[in-house]
Chains A and B, each alone.
Chain A
Amino acid sequence: MGRYSGKTCRLIFMLVLTAGFFVAELVSGYLGNSIALVSDSFNMLSDLISLCVGISTGCIARRSRRGPRATYGYRRAEAVGALSNAVFLTALCFTIFVEAILRLARPEPIDDAQLVLIVGTLGLAVNLKDDVFSVCRTYTQHSVSSLNAGDSPNDQKSPEEGPVKKKEKKSEALNIRGVLLHVMGDALGSVVVVVAAAIFYVLPLGNAPCNWQCYIDPSLTIIMVIIILSSAFPLIKETSVILLQMVPKGVNMQLLTDRLARVPGVSSLHEMHVWELAGGKNIATLHVKCQTPADYQDAAYKIRKAFHEAGIHSVTIQPEYIDHKNPQLLCSSPCISKACDSQLCCSQRENPLAKTNGYTGKNDSCLSTQHKDNGSSKNDIEIPVEYPLAEDSVKNAKSCGGSDKSQLSSTRL
């Protein structure tokens, strides 16, 4: 892949540079007795780790899409790596915080101000160089993508393009703002180091006992720790949304279930699960109760359309046909015996309205919304439903092709 070879070279270069600087800053921090330099080195360590995580998840994700060990590939590695990095950084910040407090209680001067000053300035340069790269790249990408968006073929103008383009522009803007914030965060650490060391360089203490100068280092370090943590926590929150299988941010479950309930042919829904695999790929599964297979065929396309508009593109729908043996709303086909109930992802026997976790809403574990009031008409699944196949495949073609004009020939696109 041509796209990656130049990039990997640069990535490795950045990796080596960051690693080298981390070690240099750490050693100088300990030699020169400056806590701010040590915390900046931890900052760099976290950058280093995230670089490594990025490279390795890129390698992993590229190498094996789906294997016998991971049916979804390893796309989530990025989220797990980001969470680990954020937690690692938080733990390191905690120890730095503790040391800074100890320093405030028992102040110590910076021993080798010159060394610290030099290394701090170099570190600042290294941090900013990385960010200058990324800022330049974001600006060029912004212009390139707007150019490309303008060039897109006009025959596929669908109403979704408008909002999507706006989203692109917004995310570009967010991207730039995020990068700038990141630049400031990085630079701030080094700036603090340089300031503290400069003060000691300009006003050397010699052998005098500590005066106000000794308090600058730890106090600025504490401020820096707070800033670092405030950038780590949002990352933790975001990755936990993915890792805890929560409903992704852009999806409104209430709205979605209402739309799905209104699809004609759908008697009820349950076991609806929506989650995000990683990076915008949303997955949903659903059990739908219909009266007849014909109902289901009609409804299937509309259900998928509703999901598609909600931003969920991988949907697995299990149709169930209503029979008088099972109550209307419970799953007709959970696992084969009742004993497995505790191992289902959501228990079949629990009342959807039970308020055991304090959540009072209609939409609980087996999500049930009723479209028609079907107390009476329950079809037995044993009754064979006449149902020509040819019509079926045409219907399928239409349902998959959707409004795309060019996809009438095959069902799989």
Chain B
Amino acid sequence: RWWQNRRARLLCMLALTFLFFVVEVVVSRVTSSLAMLSDSFHMLSDVMALVVALVAVRFAQRTRATKKNTFGWVRAEVMGALVNAVFLTALCFTILLEAIERFTEPHEIQQPLVVIGVGVAGLIINLLGLCLFNHHGAGGHGHSHGHSHGSRQHSRGGPKPQQPPGDGEAALHREETSTLVENCSSSNGVSQEKLGDMKDDMTDLQVNGNAGHYPLDVEEAEEDSSAQLNMRGVFLHVFGDALGSVIVVVNALLFYGLWNPCPKDGPCFNPCVNNHCMENATLSQTLDRANKSAQESITVAGPCWLLYLDPVLCLIMVCILLYTTYPLLRESALILLQTVPKQIDVHSLNSKLRTLEGVEAVHELHIWQLAGSRIIGTAHIKCPDPSTYMMVAKRIKEIFHDEGIHATTIQPEFASVDSESGRGKCEFPCRTQCALKQCCGTGEDSTAKKTEKSSSHSISCSEVVIEFPKTRRTKSESIPSVKLEANTDQNEQFESSL
């Protein structure tokens, strides 16, 4: 079904919201109500959040590696979620500022009926959006599996006329394609045309073969978990907007019901506005006394607390929004920071690997999450000789697999090592000077390194110290904020982390 597709939902909501924004602008011009105009821009911010999410979804569907990105673009959705969460935080901040401003200078609502009407319409649209995106929330998995085959294949890129002939043949085709791929490297000089015209058929068959093989349910589930963050970001935006609409409607209703407005004609006194002057209050008292004595009635504008209702409700809304946005912010930031996913315990993994027979030491163990359930691990394993490594290799992969890490790169190292610490020295580091440019410093055994390093001080990989406070917004990691010092004190290398 079309509504199961993420992109379709986003586009639909985008169209609705933009239309509503236009409607609100027109109504505000007609009724010349500034408040409605400024309210309509909240819808515009919703539109922007949807655009961000849409762009992220578009990108993240390209899971293939490209020249620019060897992992494909799956991370785009996590980044979209982070951007949306930060955007929402900024909006909360501006709402907070507005609320504070309203506290000091309360405004009346002009034409509450129009506001109620538009507010209710906005609320309906937002509730619709909530339903659309809540499907991706906690309970949404079951439905989307069965129906998504069609949409998955479609999003893979166009209808494919050929059907997979069968397992064996598909595998055969795959190998043939691989042979073709072997020959296509330019150093062999195989003609490209031969490759070219066979390629198209093969690719179609190949992709078809895959389409038959894939357990699509698993893929859909995996997609859901990585796309969930992105959709959560959108959901929170729409939720915030819905809260805003609720506040507008409630406020306007109460205002309409309880406010005692100043009639256009006749003397009126409004004690609520312009309250920096205390003499107004005394003036009102004297006026009242004068009133009663003169038996005239000067209308006093309605209960003042109504005017403060709006900012108070806004504050409550800001608190709710921040409370619900913070987990999303945290989760996406943790993925982007290359942290270990919560369900994996690196220490136990390390000890499991080390206790394997044939493994002498394990170092440079890194586990990180690309997006969703794609977890990547690398490790350097020290073994006494290659044949031992061959025996152990499968077990190592099994250990990683059990933890849920399926994409691993294991580097075996074969020098003899003194096995006291169980963590040996890396046999294949880059050159010595590159220590600061390696992802992780020399970590273990730093004392030994220092004495050896003192004799060589070459500048082929310069030691860089990045300074923070000097360049602020426009700073970048690579170029302008780097302050280079030729560091003669070797001790500092391992401690400076910037």
* Inter-chain contact B483/A175, CB cutoff 8 Å: yes
Tell me how far the C-beta of B431 lies from the nearest C-beta in chain A, rounded to whole angstroms.
5
Tell me how far the C-beta of A302 lies from the nearest C-beta in chain B, rounded to whole angstroms.
12
* Inter-chain contact A240/B90, CB cutoff 8 Å: no
22 A-B contacts (beta carbon < 8 Å): A57-B468, A94-B45, A98-B38, A134-B470, A151-B486, A158-B460, A235-B473, A262-B187, A271-B409, A279-B477, A280-B478, A313-B437, A335-B397, A345-B376, A347-B210, A349-B174, A350-B207, A352-B181, A370-B185, A389-B385, A396-B415, A411-B427
Tell me how far the C-beta of A257 lies from the nearest C-beta in chain B, rounded to whole angstroms.
9
Tell me how far the C-beta of A86 lies from the nearest C-beta in chain B, rounded to whole angstroms.
7
Tell me how far the C-beta of A241 lies from the nearest C-beta in chain B, rounded to whole angstroms.
9
* Inter-chain contact B70/A412, CB cutoff 8 Å: no
* Inter-chain contact B457/A318, CB cutoff 8 Å: no
Does B452 reach chain A (CB closer than 8 Å)? yes
Residues in chain A near residue B305, CB distance under 8 A: none
Residues in chain B near residue A271, CB distance under 8 A: 409
Once the chains are docked, how many angstroms separate the CA of A153 from the CA of B433? 14
Does B87 reach chain A (CB closer than 8 Å)? yes
CB within 8 Å of A: which of B410-433?
410-412, 414-416, 424-432
* Inter-chain contact A182/B473, CB cutoff 8 Å: yes
Q: Which of the candidate stretches B112-120, B286-294, B367-375 sits at the interface with the other chain?
A: B367-375
Does A6 reach chain B (CB closer than 8 Å)? no
Does A11 reach chain B (CB closer than 8 Å)? yes
User: Which among B83, B182, B219 has the greatest number of chain A C-beta atoms within 10 A?
Assistant: B182
Mask: chain B, 122-161; 1 = CB below 8 Å from A; 0 = not: 0000000000000000000000000000000000110000
Q: Which of the candidate stretches A112-120, A196-204, A213-221, A380-388 sits at the interface with the other chain?
A: A380-388
Residues in chain B near residue A313, CB distance under 8 A: 430, 434, 437-438, 461
* Inter-chain contact A171/B210, CB cutoff 8 Å: no
Mask: chain A, 67-79; 1 = CB below 8 Å from B; 0 = not: 0111111111111
Main secondary structure of the interface of B (DSSP, over half): mixed
Once the chains are docked, how many angstroms separate the CA of A274 from the CA of B70? 7
* Inter-chain contact A400/B427, CB cutoff 8 Å: yes
Residues in chain B near residue A396, CB distance under 8 A: 414-415, 427-428
CB within 8 Å of B: which of A153-193?
153, 156, 158, 160-161, 164-165, 168, 171-172, 174-175, 177-179, 181-182, 185
> Do A50 and B475 contact each other (CB < 8 Å), given the known contacts A76-B338, A261-B187?
yes
Select which of B69, B157, B340, B347 is within 8 A of A70 by beta carbon. Answer: B340
Does B34 reach chain A (CB closer than 8 Å)? yes
* Inter-chain contact A412/B456, CB cutoff 8 Å: no
* Inter-chain contact A413/B213, CB cutoff 8 Å: no
* Inter-chain contact A50/B182, CB cutoff 8 Å: no
* Inter-chain contact A243/B336, CB cutoff 8 Å: yes
Once the chains are docked, how many angstroms separate the CA of A78 from the CA of B66? 26
Tell me how far the C-beta of A327 lies from the nearest C-beta in chain B, rounded to whole angstroms.
5
Does A54 reach chain B (CB closer than 8 Å)? yes
* Inter-chain contact B476/A238, CB cutoff 8 Å: yes
> Do A314 and B470 contact each other (CB < 8 Å), given the known contacts A62-B497, A68-B340, A249-B478?
no
Band of interface residues on A: 35 or more
Does B455 reach chain A (CB closer than 8 Å)? yes
Does A5 reach chain B (CB closer than 8 Å)? no
Does B89 reach chain A (CB closer than 8 Å)? yes
Tell me how far the C-beta of B415 lies from the nearest C-beta in chain A, rounded to whole angstroms.
5
> Do A178 and B86 contact each other (CB < 8 Å), given the known contacts A68-B340, A76-B337?
no
Tell me how far the C-beta of A90 lies from the nearest C-beta in chain B, rounded to whole angstroms.
8
Residue of A nearest to B190 (CB): A373
Residue of B nearest to A165 (CB): B459
Tell me how far the C-beta of B482 lies from the nearest C-beta in chain A, rounded to whole angstroms.
6
Once the chains are docked, how many angstroms separate the CA of A399 from the CA of B483? 32
Known: A54-B469, A313-B438, A375-B179. 16 other contacts (CB 8 A): A80-B336, A83-B86, A87-B87, A88-B86, A160-B460, A245-B71, A246-B69, A343-B375, A344-B406, A357-B62, A365-B65, A389-B414, A396-B415, A402-B431, A406-B452, A411-B425
